[in-house]
Chains A and B, each alone.
Chain A
Amino acid sequence: MAISTLDGQKIWQRRDRDVQLKIWAMWLVGTAIFMWCWQQISEATTWAFFWDAPRIAADIGGRAMPPRWSYMDKLWSPLWDTLNIATLGTVMALMMAVPVAFMAARNTTPSALFVRPIALLIIVSSRSINSLIWALLLVKILGPGVFAGLIAISIRSIGFCAKLLYEAIEEIDESQVEAITATGASRWQVMAYGIVPQIMPAFAGIAVFRWDINLRESTVLGLVGAGGIGLQLQGSLNTLAWPQVSLILLVILLAVVVSEWVSAKVRGAII
């Protein structure tokens, strides 16, 4: 906020001139960067395809309708695999995330100098790489199939779960821990009585939340050969079997909606 004097009259402005100029300059630079970026995309695009897009979309849409309902018979098994990848992946991730979280939380870490950085490194590297990339890698190592997808999902989830969990651990009420310590309880007993009960609600919430995300992610893992319904999607896309593609997309959408509903219900019941 500033007041300047013009022709002997005081004028109120929200910002003084320098700040205003800086803001304009930032906008200018921002716009220039955006235009440059846009040009990059534009150069890499065949615009003829773009203008043709409505026709192609209508064409694909026409072919995809109606979905080939009879294909559903072949989808039950991959759907079951997808569910298993998501659920078991979440369970495995949680089992590994708990120790990592305890090592990463400032108030429970055995050593803030050595153990904590390692735990944080595990969390960061697991979090910054998408599960599809993990799957890509694991398919090369473990061979295509559900197992690679399962491991990919759990590796990706460790960081996410451990991060939320260690934040929950750092927020606990220390006086309850102190009280249990004062009774002469051992380190593990303090953990079981003083800390665990306090983080249980957070733990349950994180588990359900991540399960929901994992179900979404495991629907596409098949695209790189890591099992689940994505495998059928990839096959149908490769053979341009659009009625099957539309059915699969419909099933995926339905699965996502159901999982969201389930996780909302469970979360409501816990909290």
Chain B
Amino acid sequence: MLRLDKLTKVYKTGDKALNAVDLEVPKGQVLALIGPSGAGKSTLIRCINRLVEPTSGTVQLGDVELTGLGLGGLRKERRRMGMIFQEYALVERLTVMENVLSGRLGYVGFWRSFLRKFPQSDVDEAFRLLDRVGLVEMADKRADELSGGQRQRVGICRALIQNPSVLLVDEPTASLDPKTSRQIMRLIVELCEERKLAAIVNIHDVALAQMFVSRIVGLKLGTMVFDGAPADLTEEVLTRIYGDEDWSETIQKVDDDDEVDAA
């Protein structure tokens, strides 16, 4: 589905953020990307949809090579990659509905989008998604009136309405409290399952990653140092990724206590 081949990014400052990363994500797999801050997790995700231009290497989505595309072609392919952000990155002064519909911008002409005249099918789909995440009543509220968890749900709707085949998720829980974090993670994983989406989830919370995903990739200073199942994530591996620390608490299985109020 998604294949990275020797993906490398060197910033203008000379910092090597990614060092020949090879990665293949099959359809329907949710993959967690862990690593200390500065390991290049954000850069990796942004190199895939070329918000950050990779220095060398290739990215293939299906049978399209993204790295060779021109601006127009890139925009077309970006529609197939939904992105969810750390600080939600909703346009705060627009309504929830406008934020969700902005996921359709790649499909709609400029004037239609400018006048907010989206096709009825898009509007219906937006409401269905909002209903799925329990925010249908909030549709006409302004995004900055929502709580953190609600905002992230709108962010998820915005990514899904693109009808993507891959989700790129950048620290979805970094600005949320522990309980909301879990609800949001669960929601993302469930939605990926429902829609058979591949997903790369950047996450710094190792326990949360182990709880929800089937495959974990560890990144350190731009290089892949681990790729395996959550169960294989031993203390020794964590030390390799993050450095020396007492990891016994981190790996401990967390009790799943909030099944009921899951989103």
A193 to B93, CA, bound (A): 10
Q: Report chain A residues within 8 Å CB of B90.
A: 176, 179
List the one stretch of B15-23, B101-109, B177-185, B203-211 in contact with chain A: B101-109
A178 to B103, CA, bound (A): 12
**B85 contacts partner chain A, Cβ-Cβ < 8 Å:** yes
**B58 contacts partner chain A, Cβ-Cβ < 8 Å:** no
Check B89 against A178 for contact (C-beta < 8 Å): yes
**B41 contacts partner chain A, Cβ-Cβ < 8 Å:** no
Check B75 against A197 for contact (C-beta < 8 Å): no
Known: A181-B51, A197-B91. A186 touches B158 (CB 8 A): no
Give A29-62 interface residues, CB cut-off 8 Å to B: none
Nearest opposing residue in chain A for B75, CB measure: A184
A194 to B79, CA, bound (A): 17
Q: Which residues of B are interface residues toward A (Cβ below 8 A)?
A: 49, 51, 75-79, 81, 83, 85-87, 89-94, 98, 102-107, 110, 113-114, 155, 158, 162, 168
Q: Report chain A residues within 8 Å CB of B110.
A: 186, 188-189, 192
Known: A192-B113, A193-B102, A197-B94. A184 touches B79 (CB 8 A): yes
> 15 extra interchain contacts, Cβ-Cβ under 8 A, other than A176-B89, A183-B105?
A173-B89, A178-B89, A181-B51, A182-B51, A183-B102, A183-B106, A184-B76, A184-B78, A184-B162, A186-B110, A188-B110, A189-B110, A197-B94, A198-B91, A201-B93
Nearest opposing residue in chain B for A199, CB measure: B93
**A185 contacts partner chain B, Cβ-Cβ < 8 Å:** yes
**A175 contacts partner chain B, Cβ-Cβ < 8 Å:** yes
A104 to B162, CA, bound (A): 33
Q: Which residues of A are interface residues toward B (Cβ below 8 A)?
A: 173, 175-176, 178-186, 188-189, 192-194, 197-198, 200-201
Q: Report chain B residues within 8 Å CB of A198.
A: 91-93
Q: Report chain A residues within 8 Å CB of B155.
A: 179
A201 to B93, CA, bound (A): 10
A180 to B78, CA, bound (A): 11
Q: Report chain A residues within 8 Å CB of B77.
A: 184
Check B105 against A189 for contact (C-beta < 8 Å): yes
Check A197 against B93 for contact (C-beta < 8 Å): yes
Q: Report chain A residues within 8 Å CB of B102.
A: 180, 183, 185, 193
Chain A min CB distance to B153 (Å) = 15
Check B78 against A193 for contact (C-beta < 8 Å): no
Chain B min CB distance to A197 (Å) = 4
Interface centre among A176, A178, A181, A200 (most CB of B within 10 A): A176
Known: A176-B92, A189-B113, A193-B102. A183 touches B87 (CB 8 A): no
Q: Report chain B residues within 8 Å CB of A183.
A: 78-79, 83, 102-106, 158, 162
Check B51 against A184 for contact (C-beta < 8 Å): no
A176 to B155, CA, bound (A): 11
A195 to B113, CA, bound (A): 14
A180 to B79, CA, bound (A): 11
Chain A min CB distance to B95 (Å) = 10
**What 4 A-B pairs are tightest by C-beta distance, nearest first?**
A184-B106, A184-B78, A185-B105, A179-B89
Q: Report chain B residues within 8 Å CB of A192.
A: 110, 113-114
Q: Report chain A residues within 8 Å CB of B89.
A: 173, 175-176, 178-179
